[in-house]
Amino acid sequence: MKMLRTLTLILAVAFMATGCEQREDSFPIDDLKLHKDDVRMFEVMIPSNWFSQKVPGQLVVAYPTKDMATRFQTFGKGRAGAKIELRVMVVDSTRTVDSVVANSKLEFVDGIDRYKVEPTTFGGKPGKKVWVEFGQEDGKFRSETYVAEQDSVITVLTLAAFGGTFGDYEAEFGKILASVKLATKELPAAPKVDTAAPTGPEPPSDTLRMYSAPEFTIQIPQNFQGTKGKSSGLSSMSFAGSRLDCTIQVDVFDASKQKNLDKIADQNKATYGGSDPKSTTISGSKAVYFSYNPNAQVAARAYYTVKGDRMFRVTVNWYKPEQAVYLPIFEKCVASLSLK
């Protein structure tokens, strides 16, 4: 069956059960503005009217709306938005163009690699194009990733869209692709620092505040904001700060037909690459969690527990180079979860 390992079992079934001819309305792009990075000197155009996040020397990502980031991390239900992302990674003993290409792929439960890899020219250098297209409940999802190396630095551009809307962005995506200037290893002299200006994404506050929902309470970093998500379950809440790839999400599902946690874990095992879950406790109840990697730069855990006729799934994502900053605080947040 064509089910993604990065999706829940319920969502994976929905993926197979619906046709691929549906499409939704796309978000408009008013115009494109060139972003120039001052650290590794890369360039890329992004929509001026979309929400964007920039990490100097590392990342530029743009979505039509801020909450759209959650759908690209979970592949849950939502509006048919798009993503434009440019990441920069330094070549080392384990990171090459080929390894980045391999890590950019979602995995399917049946083990079949549905991605196409083609030679291309990217940023004026020989590179690789990695693309895939598959049906989801609201139409086709398509993703194209371009990878090239210069000065032992890898530049990765990803263009993706849900709901059969990729074609709507084709003209703008072409301009974005043509605008890319690859990152360089040579760093310029350090500019004068304006201490009053922000230096990048704010780390999670180690001061936690309580969030209360009808089914649970959880403590989250003081500088994180909550957003209601769309889920195939009963409810969903996502919490994020200024880094959109570092999030906490709590989903609640009806467990009246299956309350056995071991069986639930076994049913979802393939979703996370087939690895065995680790045991833990949440709110005094037995729990398990799976560790997995949504992409080459992001790590994640998915916790499962059951209380009464409700199943709770807590998903945390964090940027790998800043694991020491995010993971200890996220673990405190998960430990604070209290089920009603």
Instruction: State which fold the 208-339 domain adopts.
Output: Protein Transport Mog1p; Chain A (3.40.1000)
Mean pLDDT of the chain: 84
C-alpha span between 235 and 25 (Å, rounded): 25
Residues in CB range of 244: below 8 A, 6 or more apart: 53, 61, 63, 66, 69
* Per-residue model confidence as pLDDT tens digits over 310-323: 999 999 999 888 89
Identify any residues that bridge with 290 across adjacent strands, giving them in sequence order. Answer: 302
pLDDT at site 21: 53
User: Does the structure show a pLDDT above 50 at 290?
Assistant: yes
C-alpha span between 292 and 298 (Å, rounded): 9
pLDDT at site 10: 33
DSSP annotation of 173 reads: H
User: Does the structure show a pLDDT above 70 at 230?
Assistant: no
Judge whether 9-179 and 208-339 match in fold.
Answer: yes
- Give which of 128, 126, 131 is closest to 156, Cα–Cα: 128
The vertex-16 CA angle with 229 and 230, nearest 5°, equals: 5
pLDDT at site 143: 93
pLDDT at site 6: 38
C-alpha span between 145 and 148 (Å, rounded): 10
* CATH superfamily, with its number, for domain 9-179: Mog1/PsbP, alpha/beta/alpha sandwich (3.40.1000.10)
Domain range annotation of the chain: 9-179, 208-339
Contact 74, 249 (CB under 8 A): yes
With cut-offs at 50, 70 and 90, classify the pLDDT of residue 186.
low
How far, in whole angstroms, is CA 310 from its chain's centroid? Answer: 26
pTM for this model (two decimals): 0.59
